[in-house]
Amino acid sequence: MDPRPRPAADEVIAALRHWLEQAVIGLNLCPFAQAVYLRNQIRFVVSEARTETELGVDLETELHRLHTTPTEQIETTLLIHPYVLSEFRDYNEFLGEAEATLLGAGLVGEIQIASFHPQYQFAGTEPDDVSNYTNRAPYPTLHLLREASVERAVQSFPEAKTIFEANIRTMQSLGHAGWKRLGIGPA
């Protein structure tokens, strides 16, 4: 049993909003996020799942909700799961199941899943490599994105392929101390 206190859903959402405002939008890690955020088209969902199976059910529910809800109401969904997959290795292994859920729902090509985790680590990097922080959120999070929205965003931003490299440079310039000053999580 995990002895850590369980945060309330409103605390979890507040932490994700702070992360979005300070890191994702504030550091321009995703040039497409600000407009969607300001239009209030991001659905924040805190999963109560305590097992991977329960999270899979929540994921399937949110995939269908995103797919069937007009874009004007929900452009994208952040499925935050603070009570399961707290270890990055477990989370990373679950991503295969998440993709299988997407396939099983018949939504490949309609929705894609991006991943964020407090311990995120890109392959080939050390755990404390500051480049990992581009994908570090306060809680494990599955980001559900409409493919059509991603395509529109990429068309409106001709240098979309350079975003990843720019984010690495931003994080290297910011460093661990700069990240810590953002008040998002451990540096």
User: Other CB atoms closer than 10 Å to residue 111's CB: what's the count?
Assistant: 22
Buried b (16+ CB within 10 A) or exposed e, 51-81: ebeebbebbbebbeebeeeeeeebbbbbbbb
State the pLDDT at residue 134: 95
State the pLDDT at residue 152: 86
Q: Indicate the DSSP class of residue 79.
A: E
Report residue 111 as tokens: 């929705």
Backbone torsions φ then ψ of 5, nearest 5 degrees: -65, 145
* 5-9, 126-130, 146-150: the lowest-pLDDT one: 5-9
- For the segment 92-132, what is each residue's pLDDT rounded down to a tens digit? 999 999 999 999 999 999 999 999 999 999 999 999 999 99
Q: Which amino acid is at 28?
A: N
Report residue 29 as tokens: 């890690």
Average pLDDT over residues 12-26: 96
- For the segment 55-102, what is each residue's pLDDT rounded down to a tens digit? 999 999 999 999 999 999 999 999 999 999 999 999 999 999 999 999
Distance between CA atoms of 113 and 10, rounded to whole angstroms?
23
Tell me, yes or no, if the pTM score tops 0.75.
yes
